[in-house]
Homo-oligomer: A and B are copies of this chain.
Amino acid sequence: MRLDELAARIGGVLHGDPAVEVTGVAGVREAGPGDLTFLADPRYEEAAAETRAAAILVAADHRRFARPVIEHPDPLRAFFAAVALLHPPPPPPPPGIHPTAVVGPGVGLGDQVSIGPQAVIEAGAEIGARSIIGALVYIGREARIGTGCLLYPQVVIREECVLGDRVIVHSGSVIGSDGYGFRREGERHIKVPQIGRVVIGDDVEIGASCAIDRGTLGDTVIEHGTKFDNLVHVGHNVRIGANSLVIAQVGIGGSAVVGKGVILAGQAGIAGHVAIGDQAQIGGQAGIIASVEPGEQLWGTPAMPLHQAKRVYAAIRRTPEILREIAALKAQVAALLGEREAAGRGGTRNGDRVAKHSPEES
């Protein structure tokens, strides 16, 4: 595509040769001739100045570069628009049911639904219009999938679970596995029936190989717009608010309540039954064993406020030195006390009263 056409289609202003052809997109360092790149973060200005890209998408206040530039007030957004033009997503699979798929009785399919090869849809499930059910996906009895959803190959949605509209689930994820609930009888653990559901709101994305348990009695709920990375665990009856970010390998114990706009960084662990307030941010590998106020930033195990955690983790590196210094101080103070004791004995014969008797008084 010529630069002038590209600029016009993404609503940018071209400075440079309009006839230059772009055929791809790339980061500023990786770009080669023929690529469009972008500058959205000033830390990359130097790299942008040296890029081999055919053209650079920049904000209005850009530096002068040797390469043609396309000015746009939001260069990152414009870049994604260009990505969509230059790398159009592959056409969706054709609507319809692949002949190898197994679709049970009473399944409701909206318009233009696509069911991939070897998929299994159990009786009474409902799948909304334009949703794409990948190959080898399993959808359980009476599950409800909204419109415009995308389930990648080898997803499992267990019976009665509910997905909103435009939900994306990546391969290997399991929605609605039984919660981990047992009741003790002597040494044995007796399974507690898990009859709740998982209910997922609109525009949620679930990464690969996540496991989200159904509720024991009520539901496990993930509100709209929340995005999961890979290998996340969610226990039974957890509730996660809207537009939160749950990074890879986070684990959330049963009945925990996570607010809206929360960020749980990678490998963080949230104990069961705690509450995490809206907009809280939990650092990587943190261990949350008590509830968290809205907006708090925590890190560490057990977690503390981020600024404190940074100071504490810097300070504990000096504990070996602290031990040495305390030993030295103890020796010095013991020496001083020994002198005083000797002095006190000489003076008053009463060590307890030494502090009241300075040498001058004796």
Contacts and interface: CB of A to CB of B under 8 A. Distances in A.
Nearest to A117: B102
B188 A177 contact: no
B320 A183 contact: no
B322 A339 contact: no
A308 to B, nearest CB: 7
A323 B227 CA distance: 42
A191 interface: yes
A66 B154 CA distance: 50
Interface in A66-89: 76-77, 80, 83-84, 87, 89
Nearest to A226: B189
A234 B38 CA distance: 25
Given A248-B233, A266-B253, A312 B319 contact: yes
Contacts of A46: none
A58 B251 CA distance: 33
A340 B134 CA distance: 83
Given A120-B118, A177-B152, A269 B267 contact: yes
Interface in A14-41: 25-27, 30
A271 B267 CA distance: 11
A301 B312 CA distance: 12
Contact of A322 (B193, B213, B326, B361): B326
B315 A188 contact: no
Contacts of A141: 90
A350 interface: no
A136 interface: yes
B312 A316 contact: yes
Interface stretch (A5-13, A105-113, A330-338): A330-338
A64 interface: no
B102 A120 contact: no
Given A135-B138, A174-B208, 9 more contacts: A30-B218, A152-B158, A178-B207, A188-B203, A189-B243, A231-B231, A231-B233, A253-B266, A339-B340
Interface of A: 25-27, 30, 76-77, 80, 83-84, 87, 89-90, 98, 100, 102, 116-118, 120, 122, 134-136, 138, 140-141, 152-154, 156, 158-159, 168, 170-174, 177-178, 180, 182-183, 187-189, 191-193, 195, 203, 205, 207-211, 213, 217-218, 225, 227, 229-231, 233, 235, 242-243, 245, 247-249, 251, 253, 260-261, 266-267, 269, 271, 284-285, 287, 289, 300-302, 304, 308, 311-320, 322-323, 325-326, 329-330, 332-333, 335-340, 342-343, 346-347, 354-356, 358-362
